[in-house]
Structure 1
Amino acid sequence: MSINLALLILLFLVILYITIIEIFTIIFMITGVSSTRAKFQVISLLTNCGFTTTESEIIVSSRKRRKIAITIMLFGNIFNVAIVSLLVNMVISFSKNKDFNAFRSILYLLGFMVFITIIRKIPFFRVTFDNIVKRIATKVIFTKKANPMLIFDNFHGFVIVEIKIVEVPEKLNNRTLLESTISKDYGIRVLNIKRDDLLMGDISKDEVIMKNDRVLVYGPLANIIDVFEQKPSLYSRAS
């Protein structure tokens, strides 16, 4: 294997590895895991480093998450074998090539990593990629009548979560937020509502949640699941 080909394959694997981490992080988030926990679990599973007992309860308590975890571990094993094999071939190629400039190759790799990091930080690319993954994963994971949830953060049972309203829940159907009493009785606060291209940040108590809205709410996870009629089996006690 030539050095140039080996470097190209290595760069491709790096891009693929980062992409897979992002994809499975979003998938775990859709099933009710906060973003930081989701990324930690994905990296642990891909690298076969293992994870703590407390954190692992989030995964093993859900059948859907266990299936996702198995898929991630399979990807991780394939990648580990591929990368080790590639590195061995690169070392052999480098040792045979007396003109090889290790310093220049390292600079290329560092420059490439900086470029990827900058691209990932650009909101347009990140939001577009995340939306595509969420759209596909939601169709696979949830039934047509479910209201998929994407948890952004978890504060000891209180979560910030985005909900796609596929079917308006009974407690909210044809009722204003004030009439539904979700704030008083369930401790759920609606932070904003995205309706088509309109983002409503200053939510009135007279606002009515409608089908196809994307609603960002804060409150106890158990109550949010209850109000928005989500299946409890998708969530664990520690989520």
Structure 2
Amino acid sequence: MAALISLFMAIAISLLITRIAAEALTLTGLSRESAEFQARSAFTGAGFTTSESEQVVSHPVRRRILMWLMLLGNAGIITVISSLILTFIGTRGAGDWSLRMGLLVIGLVLIWIVATNRRFSRYLSKIVYWSLQRWTHLDVRDYASLLRLSGNYAVMEMQVAPEDWIANKPLCETHLRQEGILVLGIQRLNGHYVGAPKGGSCIFSGDILILYGRLSTLNELDSRKQGPSGEQAHEKAVATQAQLLAHEQQE
């Protein structure tokens, strides 16, 4: 029974460590999905892809977080495996084995419920944010909150295809601001990145645009094609944005 308790403690601590690390990575600017994946990858030592790892190791706080995850992950996995083996060694008959298996399942379910609880996540996020502000000298911000990535607003990457409505046009001619869309950056095919592009920046086929705006408008723009239908869709999006602005001013 002592081995079973040790197993529960090891699993709970491992989940807590990865959750804390994911929250910390989120506060450094990573998306929540990417932060959770990177935290679990570093802790288990699996699935750490090159493109995503470059985003992590380029930031000093992220490097420090992942370094501790890698160190703790090795000890945590070994502890879980050894405790699991010891749990079922020396069982006295089928009844004892079934009892331990039942307790194991119940314990894992309870741990999972707590680990995925949203209220727990909110409290944990506040604690991690306070800790990073208290014990580090680096500027850590919740970029999701700064950009108001809630409700219908999002940041999205869009690859420009030759037949897209936006292809081969200067940014100033697209009038995307009138649709409520901001172009944060342009990733060229040759690897050059244009941050905060000006109106004279041309959008070419193959470019990857980093856009900010209402998700419904971004998705419509991604599927918008050249021709009269594209111009009509643009005019409709402009009219919709004007109505939203008028409604917001009345509130």
Same fold (TM over 0.5): yes
Match of 1:118 in 2: 113
Deviation at 1:66, TM superposition (A): 1.6
User: Which residue is equivalent to 1:197?
Assistant: none
Matched letter for residue 29 of structure 1: T
Larger Rg: 2
- Structure 1: runs of 5 or more not aligned: 158-182, 190-201, 206-239
In structure 2, distance between residues paired with 1:59 and 1:141: 17
1:6 — aligned with what?
3
2:34 is matched with 37
Q: SS at 1:155's partner residue?
A: strand
Q: CA deviation at 1:37?
A: 0.5
SS in 2 for 1:93: coil
Give me the whole-angstrom Cα distance separating, in 2, the residues matched to 1:90 and 1:184: 56
For 1:101, what is the secondary structure of its paired residue?
helix
Between the aligned partners of 2:183 and 2:51, the Cα distance in structure 1 is 32
The answer to whether the aligner puts 1:79 opposite 2:72 as a matched pair is no
1:45 Cα offset (Å): 0.9
**Larger RCO (CA within 8 A; separation ≥ 6):** 1
Q: State the one-letter code of the partner of 2:100.
A: S
Q: 1:16 aligns with which of 1, 13, 17?
A: 13
| TM-score, L = length of structure 2 | 0.54
State the 1:102 CA deviation.
2.3
Equivalent residues, number: 165
| d(CA) in 2 for partners of 1:68, 1:45 | 9
Q: Taking structure 1 as reference, are residues 90 and 188 closer, same or farther at Cα in structure 2, changes over 3 Å only?
A: closer
Query: Which has the larger share of helix?
Result: 2
Change (3 A) 1:124 1:80: closer
Distance 1:83 1:117, change over 3 A: closer
Decide which of 134, 138, 148 is 2:141's aligned counterpart: 148
Structure 2: state its 5+ residue gaps.
Answer: 159-181, 185-195, 197-210, 214-244
Cα separation, partners in 2 of 1:121 and 1:62, compared to 1, 3 Å: closer
**Residue aligning to 1:62:** 59
Q: Secondary structure at the match of 1:108?
A: helix
Contact 2:27–2:129 (8 Å) recurs in 1: yes
